Amino acid sequence: MRSMKHRTLTGLGVLALTAGGFAAVSGHSAAQAADRNGKCEKGEFCYNFNSDLKGAWSDFTSSVGDYGTTQPSCYDFKGKAKGHGKCIKNDAGGFWNKTNKPVTIYFNSGYAGRSVTVKPGAKGKLPAAVYNNNASHRIGKGGGGGHNPAPSGKWASPVPSSAVITARAYYSSGRYHGAVDYSGFNGKFRSACNGTIDSIAINRTYANRNAYGVTGSTNYLWVNCGGGIRMGYAHWYAKDLPSSLKRGTKVKAGQNLVNVGNQGNSSGQHLHFQVERSGKQIDGHDFLQSKGVKGLPRE
């Protein structure tokens, strides 16, 4: 991930993990791909691009608190009908609830703002309150709706507010990055959610040194936040990993994790912060903003 600056920056580390480097840690499972096939099937809640339900479909088996707003990281309409490929946020005209539970559709991300609840089996044009203003949905009263545990509801900034954003989902060149890079700070980065460490990947060849330009050389720590949300932290040195942090360790939002580093495919000290929702990369900074997190670095 090579960081392209959003604003003039001198003497701050910037990153270099290529898009190809994400392949090993991201992507849909076969089951998830079947869930998102552009067909509204039994057990799913679906949006349609058109109010008459003749457009492209976007189908879900679980609740989603943030649809995303840009390709390729957003939830989109599938198939070949009108609207296919468009991000669904604030662009759905119709719906079909083929689950056996009520579904609440929200005006804002994070299950917030005005909302409308539709009964099992209901279909048609989205109610006026959320017509072309759909930003999240919750299946059932508890909102889980799928095989993932419900989110903890507690989030935090992974870095000090004084940190600088040096890259987002796309570099200024237009090349896909798939994460947020935070530079300009020292010390430990923090867990951005309550969750459980489910993966620690250390590249033994470059565990404690830089490998700029070498794809797949970067150390990663992943936290499962529940509700399909996973958060990845990269470029720390293996020597700085506390012995208390291992697979299965529970962490709390705001808890210190590892010292920020310049390990692996990186061109300067920074945190590569990667967030996935149901296996699909989303903008982590936008996600935390949607959760009302305070103390995030400003653009």
Convert the pLDDT of each residue in 134-178 to its tens digit. 988 888 864 333 333 444 458 999 999 999 988 887 666 676 777
Band the pLDDT of 83: cuts 50, 70, 90: very high
Query: Is pLDDT above 50 for 33?
Result: no
- Residue 107 in any domain: the answer is yes
Exposed (0-12), middle (13-18) or buried (19+): which is 208, by Cβ within 10 Å? middle
Amino acid 19: pLDDT: 36
- Residue 14 in any domain: the answer is no
- Is the domain of 160 the same as that of 129? no
Distance between CA atoms of residues 121 and 110, nearest Å: 24
Query: Is pLDDT above 50 for 29?
Result: no
- Residue 299 in any domain: the answer is no
- Residue 38 in any domain: the answer is no
Final residue before a domain boundary, out of 144, 174, 202: 144
**Range of 63's domain?**
44-98+100-144
Measured distance between the N- and C-terminal CA atoms of the chain, rounded to whole angstroms: 19
- Is the domain of 159 the same as that of 23? yes
- Is the domain of 251 the same as that of 219? yes
Domains held by the chain: number: 2
Amino acid 79: pLDDT: 84
Q: How far is CA 174 from CA 13, 47, 50, 90, in A?
A: 20, 29, 31, 24
Locate the DSSP E strands across the chain: 45-48, 57-60, 94-97, 103-108, 112-118, 123-125, 136-139, 164-167, 180-183, 188-190, 195-201, 220-226, 229-234, 250-251, 256-259, 271-277, 280-282
Query: Residue 137 sits in a domain of what CATH number?
Result: 2.60.20.10
Query: Residue 255 sits in a domain of what CATH number?
Result: 2.70.70.10
- Is the domain of 180 the same as that of 206? yes
Q: Which two tokens stand for residue 255?
A: 């808890």
- Is the domain of 138 the same as that of 155? no
Write the DSSP string, 84-98.
TTSB-TT---EEEE-
Convert the pLDDT of each residue in 249-275 to its tens digit. 999 999 999 999 999 999 899 999 999
Convert the pLDDT of each residue in 192-231 to its tens digit. 999 999 999 999 999 999 999 998 999 999 999 998 999 9
User: 35-50 in b/e burial notation, b at 16+ Cβ within 10 A?
Assistant: bbebebeeebbbbbbb
Distance between CA atoms of residues 286 and 104, nearest Å: 22
This prediction has a pTM of 0.53
Distance between CA atoms of residues 254 and 289, nearest Å: 15
- Is the domain of 79 the same as that of 135? yes
- Is the domain of 267 the same as that of 174? yes
